Amino acid sequence: MESTQPVQPAHDFEETVESILDRRLTSLHTAVPVRVVKDSDGHTVSLQPLLKRMFQTPDGKQTLVDFPILTDIPINFASGGGTTFTHPIKEKDEGMALIASGSIDAWFQNGGEQPEMDARRHSLSDAIYLPGVRNTPRKLKDVSTTAAQIRSDDGKHYSELDPKKGITHSVDGGKHVVSMSPEDGIKLLADAGKHIMTLHPKNGVGIETGLALAMKAAQGMALKGALSVDGKVTSTKPIGGSVLAGILGGGIGAIVSALVIVGALMATSAPPEGVQQASYRLAAVWGR
């Protein structure tokens, strides 16, 4: 007996399969942009997905609905070799939630190799937060195209590693800068260049300031080499020790030299009256 059931058209079958696949794919997630709901402790975070899902009501109408808030989501920080780069995770920060292919509950709780606790696949419950992904309205301005930087979003403070120029740390829009380069050595600038200290590989050490320079050494200070001073030298306490001896020695040496000159003049000829009087005065001082 021949079948009386109608044969389903091929295009109807394809539409049915596509409808089934579409419904299945709506619960399969791989990655979704997210916003931080509240400040994080640095280990887990609560996230609000920023895409809306199309939902069809029983009467056939379609409407947009929010994804649920994702809670206790692990945070991914750049880490390796016993070091980790951390930063605050604050409310309204944005990034990407990466969805694992299977359940990560057992691994997250116990670490190491763990069996999957259930058969769920690509579930929002198995998200991992990757901070920093930006949309166009939140585009980061003045990004360096030649150096690696750790910086504030507004660019006022940064630490920079340039493959050619070396390392630079800048604070408050360049008001205070510390730089280290192969050619210029180490340079410190404070208060927009009002105070400068340089350690140059060829020119030595230099200090410039528009104000006062104060140095304090609890165990004293030693200087080796010639000292040149252009200006007045004062001391809040009496100068003693070898410094005082040097000063006294210099004064005595000057007096002796003056006496030798006067004696030589007297030996060669009768000295003028002024020189004669000077010699008497020096002799009187020396004899005291």
The neighbour count for residue 202, using CB atoms within 10 Å, is 7
Domain boundary, last residue among 209, 225, 260: 209
User: What CATH number did the domain enclosing 68 receive?
Assistant: 2.40.50.230
Label residue 118 by pLDDT band (50, 70, 90). Answer: confident
Supply the mean pLDDT for the chain. Answer: 83
Q: Model pTM? A: 0.69
Q: Give the pLDDT confidence of 227-281 residue by residue, as tens digits.
A: 888 888 887 777 655 554 554 455 555 554 555 454 554 444 454 554 455 444 4
Query: Is 215 inside a domain boundary?
Result: no
In this structure, the answer to whether residues 130 and 158 fall within a common structural domain is no
Residues present in the chain in total: 288
In this structure, the answer to whether residues 134 and 159 fall within a common structural domain is no
Label residue 106 by pLDDT band (50, 70, 90). Answer: very high
Q: Give the pLDDT confidence of 45-60 residue by residue, as tens digits.
A: 999 999 998 877 788 8
pLDDT score at 4: 59
In this structure, the answer to whether residues 185 and 257 fall within a common structural domain is no
In this structure, the answer to whether residues 60 and 130 fall within a common structural domain is yes
In this structure, the answer to whether residues 152 and 134 fall within a common structural domain is no
Domain boundary, last residue among 138, 161, 191: 138
Q: Closest by alpha carbon to 50, among 101, 97, 98?
A: 97
Buried b (16+ CB within 10 A) or exposed e, 30-59: eebbbebbeebeeeebbbbbeeeeeeeeee
